[in-house]
Amino acid sequence: MNDIQMIAYLTECTVATVDEMATKKSRPSCEYERQKSIAQKGIDYLRNISGELDETIQTIVDSHKCSRVIEILEQRISVSEFAKKYEVPKK
C-alpha cells in the first residue's frame, strides 16, 4: 500500500463515519463537524498531491474500495456537500 492508498483508505473510513452520523437524528454536532473536518483534510490532500486528478482516482481504484472518496473527488464536492445527501434533520 502506497501513501496515496493509505490516505485514501483512512479518508474513506472517516467519510463512512460522517455518513453514518449524518443518518442519525440525535448526533453530537461538535463531533459530527470534527469528523467532517478530518475527512475534508484527507480529500484536500488527495486533490493536492497530483496535478492530474485522474491519476489519483486511478491509483485509489486499483487497490481499494474507496467509493465515497472516489465519489467526492469525481464530483468535485466537499465532504459537507456529500454528507448533506444523507442528513436527517436533527431533533
pLDDT digits (tens, 9 = 90+) for 2-53: 788 888 899 999 999 999 999 999 999 999 999 999 999 999 998 888 665 5
The CA distance from 15 to 41, in Å, is 11
In this model, does residue 65 exceed pLDDT 90?
no
Number of independent structural domains in the chain? 1
Structural domain includes residue 61 = yes
Cell readout for 25 is: 437524528
Structural domain includes residue 91 = no
Structural domain includes residue 12 = yes
The pLDDT of 57-80, averaged and rounded, is 84
The CA distance from 68 to 74, in Å, is 10
Helix 3-22 and helix 53-63, axial crossing angle in degrees, nearest 10:
80
Cell readout for 1 is: 500500500
Structural domain includes residue 74 = yes
Q: For residue 21, what are the domain limits?
A: 3-84
pTM listed for this prediction: 0.87
Residue 4 is predicted with a pLDDT of 83
